[in-house]
Amino acid sequence: MRSIWKGAISFGLVSVPVKVYSATENHDISLHQVHAADGGRIRYQRRCEVCDHVVDYGDIDKAYDDGNRTVVLTEQDLKSLPAERNHEIEVVEFVPAEQVDLLRLDKSYYLEPESSTLKQYTLLRRALEDSDRTAIVRFALRQKTRLAALRVRGDVLLLQTLLWDDEVRSPTFDVLKESPRISQKERDMAAQLVDSLAGDFDSAAFTDEYQEQLRTLVEAKLEQGAALDTDATFGAPDGDDDDADVVDLMEALKRSIDRKKAPASTAKKAPATKTAPAKKATAAKKTAAKKAPAKKAATKKKASRPKAS
């Protein structure tokens, strides 16, 4: 990993120099835009509207326009801001961990200590563990003042930036002003359904199915080109949905509970809440079953095709 920033955590008179690393990464397949007619790559140019020249990224500055005047802010101007020059992660308070609203969590970063200050780093980590509190810190990163939660993850300090108050929207849904009547029987059945789906969260049991299917599509398209049969690749879409006509809430709850109780072999359709491994096994069987007919059909087509002279 490569550090993106260097600074020092300060709590009281104790200072802990750290390197900051992004704790997450994106593995999504990268797609770009092309002209549908001929596949030509679509590119965007940074063109100046005054001189009509294409401008290199290094020659671009930022500007503020109030409607009447424009002021240009150079990179040097921005670096002169006191907050930008300050590389201190200041602990402003220690709060109960449950008071940090998950909605406010934004980006996550790992903090690596310098070997010479490992003791201070470890002391802060253990103080957070022993008190079961989260440190609220303030610092500047990438031309913005950040508020963040400093917490423990294993033996590493984790910094999670927080959204400011004005960045969190308040939901205003008029429909929620109404209060529908929920019967005790409906609540009991909902609780029974919750119990049937209860378990311990294991993130490794879930995968990004869209990205997996997109990767399969790309590989199949590379191999077969325009002749790709998506039904043969993924299986034909299931047009039969027995649940589409279920409009009664009690009936929907009852069917959901019955489906969860039914053995996998007799269940008509796998529930969406199964773990990823179970899903994969079901999907593999389904794909295998669909592929065989598609293969035969392709063979028949080849046989009936006239030979090239």
pLDDT digits (tens, 9 = 90+) for 7-17: 999 988 889 99
User: What's the domain range around 207?
Assistant: 200-302
**Identity at 240, one-letter amino acid code:** D
| 175 vs 183: CA distance, rounded Å | 20
- One domain for residues 161 and 205: no
* C-alpha distances out from residue 120 to 73, 90, 123, 146, Å: 39, 15, 5, 23
> Same domain for 101 and 249?
no
Asked which of 115, 145, 166 is the last residue of a domain, the reply is 166
In this structure, is residue 264 part of a structural domain? Answer: yes
Is 132 within a domain? yes
Does 234 fall in a domain?
Answer: yes
Do 160 and 218 reside in the same domain of the chain?
no
| 13, 162: one domain | yes
Looking at the fold, whether 127 and 276 belong to one and the same domain comes out as no
Same domain, 144 and 16: yes
233 and 141 housed in the same domain: no
* pLDDT value for 259: 82
| pTM exceeds 0.75 | no
Residue 183 lies in a domain: no
User: What's the length of the chain?
Assistant: 309
37 domain-assigned: no
Structural domains counted in the chain: 2
Residues of the chain with pLDDT under 50: 264-309
pLDDT at 289: 43
Same domain, 205 and 129: no
Whether 133 and 16 share a structural domain: yes
Match 């009447």 to its residue by tokens. 68
Phi/psi for 273 (5° steps) reads: -95, 5
Q: Are residues 22 and 130 in the same domain?
A: yes
296 and 249, same domain (yes or no) = yes
Kindly state whether residue 224 falls inside one of the protein's structural domains: yes
DSSP assignment of the chain equals ----EEEEEEETTEEEEEEEEES----PPP---B-TTT-PBP----B-TTT--B--GGG--EEEE-SS-EEEE-HHHHHTSHHHH--EEEEEEEEEGGGS-GGGEEEEEEEEE-GGGHHHHHHHHHHHHHHTEEEEEEEE-SSSEEEEEEEEETTEEEEEEE--GGGSPPP--GGGGS-----HHHHHHHHHHHHHT-----GGG---HHHHHHHHHHHHHHHHGGG--HHHHH-------TTTT---HHHHHHHHHHHHHS-TTT-SS--TTS-HHHHHHHHHHHHHHHHHHHHHHHHHHHHHSPPP-
Which of 140, 166, 192 delimits the end of a domain?
Answer: 166
Q: Are residues 150 and 291 in the same domain?
A: no
Domain boundary among 166, 182, 210: 166
Task: Examine residue 88 and state whether it is found in any structural domain, yes or no.
Answer: yes
In this prediction, residue 241 carries a pLDDT of 56
Answer yes or no: is 227 within a domain.
Answer: yes
Determine the pLDDT at residue 54.
94
- Residue whose tokens read 């609203």: 101
Which domain CATH number covers 104? 2.40.290.10
pLDDT at res. 34: 93
